[in-house]
Every structure is written in C-alpha cells, then in structure tokens.
Structure 1
C-alpha cells in the first residue's frame, strides 16, 4: 500500500459539488492499494499513522501525535499512486489494485484507523472527487509498505 500523508489545517472532499467528508486539523491521506497488499500492510500503516508525531509541542518541536492535538483524518482513495510512467507520456495503472479488492482494502484500512481511536472521514471509492486542503507546513510524508 502507498499512503501520502499531508498535515492539514483543514481539508474536504466533494463529489458532484456535495461535500462528503470534511476535517479541521489533522491528516489528509491519499491511499493507494495493489493486489498483493495484506492486512499486515494495513496494520503497519495504521500503527505508523496513528502514532506519527509531526505536530508541534509547546517548544515548537514535532513531538505530538494526532491524538495529542485532537486531530482528524480525511482518507481519500487514489489508485494513481501506482501509476507507472516508464514508457511514453501516458501513465499506466496496471500496478494498481483491481477495484473490488482495492475497495475492500480501503474500507478495512479506514475501519482499522477508527478502531485505533481516530475520527475518520472518507471520500467515495471510484468516484470523481475534488479534494480541497489547507496544507500545514507543508508537511508531507510518503508511506510505502514495500519499504517498511
């Protein structure tokens, strides 16, 4: 799995001009799944994301986690994280998970984030979504379970 995490002051996701998910301070997660991803990959990501300390403490040091700042998560599926641009100018998405499997894994990932005590808003798997955010920092972390 691949997750691009952005620390945000606020973020929202819309489908057909209707906001379906919205958060204030927290993380915007762009989530990509491939067919070989497993529950172990989900568990690893949930542990890392939940405990990641990238919010400033009283001394300005990044020592606080999402729970410490009462932050939220907006999770958006994004198969394009597995785009291959090796040949030509049009990306190939053959490395992205098949929709049925990727959708199931995305749902399990989000539920496990909730089970870990996080408040999670989501996009709509497979929909044409518009994502708005106010990046904080900017602070962006890329997780790839092939490099854990």
Structure 2
C-alpha cells in the first residue's frame, strides 16, 4: 500500500457539495491499495501512520505522533498514487488494486486506525471528492509498505 501523510491544522472532504469527513489538527492520509496488497500491508501501514513522529514537541523538533498530540486522521482513497509515469505523458494506473479490493483495503485500513484509538473521518471511496486542507509546516511524507 502507498500513502501520503500531510500534517494539517484542519482538513475536509466534500462530495456533491456536502462535507462527508472533516478533522481539526492531525493527518490527512491519501491512501492507495496496490495489486496484491492484503490486510497485512494495511495493518503495517496503519501502525506506521499512528506512530510516525512528525509533530513538534516542546523543543520544536518533530518528535511526536498523531496519537501523542491527540490528533485526528482524515483518510481519503487516492488510486492515482499508483501512477506509472516512466514513459509518455499520460500516467498509467494498472498497478492499483481492482476497485473491490481497493475499497475493502481502504475501509480495513481506516478501521485499523480507529482501532488504534484515533478519531478517523473518511472520504467516500470512488466518489468525485473535493479535498480541502491547511497543511501545517508544510509537512508531507510518502510511505510505502
């Protein structure tokens, strides 16, 4: 699985003009299941996201996790993270998991984060989403497991 973590002061997802998920301080996680991914990869990714020390401590160093700061997570499905841009100018997405597998793993991943005690908001899988965020830092971290 692939993910992009963005440290945010706030973030929201809108579908058809209605907010379907929003958070205050925490992480916006754009996530993509790849072909062959399983729940084991989702478990590993969820644990890594929860423990990633990218929030400032009292000394101003990135030394605290989203759990440590009592933050929230907004999880948004993003199959375009599977983009293959090695040739030509049109990305290919053939390495992304098929939609049914992608949705299952996206839901499982978000559930695992919630199981780790994090407040989790979600986008809507497969929808045309409008994502708003106020990136904090900015801090943007790619992760692949």
Range of TM-score over shorter length: over 0.9
Aligned-partner Cα distance in 2 for 1:80–1:70:
30
Q: CA deviation at 1:81?
A: 0.3
User: What is aligned with 2:74?
Assistant: 74
SS for the counterpart of 1:70 is coil
Q: CA deviation at 1:17?
A: 1.1
* Residues 20-49 of structure 1: CA deviation (Å, up to 9, x unaligned): 000010000000111211122111111111
Q: CA deviation at 1:54?
A: 1.3
5+ residue gaps, structure 2, are: none
* Residues 81-118 of structure 1: CA deviation (Å, up to 9, x unaligned): 00112232211111111000110010100101101111
User: What is the Cα-based RMSD across aligned positions, in Å?
Assistant: 0.9
Q: How many residues were matched structurally?
A: 145
| TM superposition score normalised by structure 1 | 0.95
| TM superposition score normalised by structure 2 | 0.96
SS for the counterpart of 1:34 is coil
Aligned-partner Cα distance in 1 for 2:23–2:79:
22
Greater shift, 68-77 or 82-91, is seen at 82-91
User: What is aligned with 1:28?
Assistant: 28
5+ residue gaps, structure 1, are: none
Runs (4+) of structure 1 moved beyond 6 Å?
none
Does residue 94 in structure 1 map to residue 94 in structure 2? yes
